[in-house]
Structure 1
Amino acid sequence: MATAATAAALASPSTPAQHTVNVVPPPPAEYSNAEVQAAKSSACAAWEQAALATAAASKERAAVTAPGSIDERFDARATEKRVSMAEISYLRTQIEPAAPETVVTPIEAWIASEIDRLHSVNMRDWPAASAALNRGNGLVDVIAPACGLR
């Protein structure tokens, strides 16, 4: 009898119960005007610090002219890269979810242009490095007014 029941069960398997899970996304976060302003101020201050520090490091590297030793130029380029990556890393920590998109989007694009520039420099792709630098410089004209810096 058990054999017959097993054979019958194997011949016509039962369909397991179907479970439905409804995933409801959380509502978008809402921030007070004070929170938005604080997040904007934090992002803008960090961006200004990053922009000034990377520009200063680039100027110092450019000041090491061709007659300088290879070691001096290498060290200056390495310092420029270290400063840029440290500033970008710090800047990323200062962009809070409450920051307005009018500030976040161009800052993130500026970060991407800086990373592209540094990568192009590493690859010795000078036209690409120049294009990334120009893209970043163009974003300065967007970010500074959005942050109230000009």
Structure 2
Amino acid sequence: MTTYATSALQQAPSTGGPPATPPRNVGGPPTRQAPRPRHAGIIAAATAFVVAAGAAVATATALASPVTPAQHTVNVVPPPPARYGDMEIAAAKQSACSAWDRSSRTIASVGKDRAALGENTGGSSNDTEEARAAEKRTVVSQIQFLRNEIAPATPPRIQSLIDDWIALQIDSMHSAVVRDWPASNAATDKGNDLVDVIVPACGLR
């Protein structure tokens, strides 16, 4: 009987020793190695980061310094003054003067009634106070009526005189409200003096 010798690789490991190293798979597929990092990829990533950082800085700068909108200058040319015919001017003068004549007479009438009542019952009586309140209402309503009757074609001089007279009526009434009788009487006297100017200017009486 022939005896074959067993190679060291095929011999069983000795009892109690370290385990044998597994044999290498000779002839099998090659072991895959980890790919090496490429320099081109690193450069591209760094470039993208720099671009993104630059965009963020530019955006922050734009938000911190907003752009001022352009200023546009608009030249407004006033329209030329209106022109009125002689008939329009004459009609406007007649209307304004007639309205003033009516208002001045009405205001003067209630003022005389209040003054007469004050002399008879006393300046602080209930009747006098009621008459004074009625006078104030009359002045307000007549001034509003008069202003509505002054047309744009009214001659400037007539309109100026009537405006001054209205202002004096308001001053007199205001002074009476605050019980500043000297100021109220002074405004009334100036208004009466202005009547002597308006009457001939309007051709009244």
Say whether 1:112 aligns with 2:146: no
Instruction: Give unmatched runs, 5+ long, in structure 2.
Output: 1-50
Instruction: Give the corresponding residue for 2:117.
Output: 64
Instruction: Give the corresponding residue for 1:78.
Output: 133
Q: Which letter does structure 2 place at the counterpart of 1:44?
A: C
Instruction: Give unmatched runs, 5+ long, in structure 1.
Output: none
Structure 1 residue 20 displacement after superposition: 2.6
Say whether 1:88 aligns with 2:140: no
d(CA) in 1 for partners of 2:130 and 2:69? 67
Instruction: Say which structure is richer in helix.
Output: 1
Instruction: Give the corresponding residue for 1:7.
Output: 58
Instruction: Give the corresponding residue for 2:97.
Output: 44
TM-score, structure 1 normalization: 0.88
Structure 1 residue 17 displacement after superposition: 3.7
Q: Which letter does structure 2 place at the counterpart of 1:45?
A: S
Aligned length: 150
* Identity rate, percent: 51
Q: Residues 16, 138 of structure 1: CA spacing in aligned structure 2 closer, same or farther, 3 A cutoff?
A: same
Q: Residues 19, 56 of structure 1: CA spacing in aligned structure 2 closer, same or farther, 3 A cutoff?
A: same
CA RMSD of aligned residues (A): 2.2
TM-score, structure 2 normalization: 0.66
d(CA) in 2 for partners of 1:87 and 1:15? 54
Say whether 1:32 aligns with 2:94: no
**RCO comparison, higher one (Cα < 8 Å, 6+):** 1
Q: Which letter does structure 2 place at the counterpart of 1:115?
A: I
Q: Residues 2, 132 of structure 1: CA spacing in aligned structure 2 closer, same or farther, 3 A cutoff?
A: farther
Structure 1 residue 93 displacement after superposition: 0.7
Structure 1 residue 14 displacement after superposition: 6.0
Q: Residues 119, 18 of structure 1: CA spacing in aligned structure 2 closer, same or farther, 3 A cutoff?
A: closer
d(CA) in 2 for partners of 1:55 and 1:107? 15
Q: Residues 12, 107 of structure 1: CA spacing in aligned structure 2 closer, same or farther, 3 A cutoff?
A: closer
Q: Which letter does structure 2 place at the counterpart of 1:107?
A: I
Q: Which letter does structure 1 place at the counterpart of 2:75?
A: N
Indicate which of 101, 119, 124 corresponds to 2:156: 101
d(CA) in 1 for partners of 2:179 and 2:115? 16
Which structure would you say has the larger Rg? 2
